[in-house]
């Protein structure tokens, strides 16, 4: 079984170069200021393209992680409350 991957963006590090959207337009679009908008999981057929987009980021703001490693929204709220 193939592992599902997901892109993660460090918005504070991103400088809006847009290389990632050029390399992976199937999952990354740009907002009106040129910053990436990520959409959906990365299917196995696009994994190599996603890795290429991650490597091309000049400020290292993009990462590819296992989808299971993503914190769920309720987990983040739980950690913020200290529990």
Please indicate whether residue 67 or residue 23 has the higher confidence score (pLDDT). Answer: 23
The count of C-alpha atoms lying within 13 angstroms of the C-alpha of 31, restricted to the half-sphere facing its C-beta, is 10
Whether the model pTM is above 0.85: no
Give tens-digit pLDDT for 6-17. Answer: 999 999 999 999
User: Residues 21, 29: contact at Cβ < 8 Å?
Assistant: yes
Q: Count the alpha carbons within 13 Å of 29 in the hemisphere toward its beta carbon.
A: 4
Residue 54 has pLDDT above 80, yes or no: yes
Bridging pattern class, strands 5-9 and 62-66: antiparallel
Note down the domain range covering 46.
Answer: 5-80
pLDDT digits over 7-47, tens only?
A: 999 999 999 999 999 999 999 999 999 999 999 999 999 99
**Spatial contact of 27 and 42, defined as CB atoms under 8 Å apart:** yes
Q: How many domains are contained in the chain? A: 1
- Across residues 38-63, what is the average pLDDT? 96
**CATH number of the domain where residue 39 is located:** 3.30.70.20
């Amino acid at each position: 079984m193939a592992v599902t991957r997901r892109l993660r963006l460090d918005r504070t590090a991103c400088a809006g170069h847009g290389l990632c959207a050029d390399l992976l337009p199937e999952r990354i679009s740009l907002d009106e200021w040129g910053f990436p908008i990520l959409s959906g999981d990365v299917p196995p057929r696009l994994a190599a393209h996603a890795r290429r987009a991650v490597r091309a980021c000049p400020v290292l703001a993009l990462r590819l992680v296992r989808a299971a490693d993503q914190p769920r929204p309720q987990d983040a709220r739980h950690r913020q409350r200290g529990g």
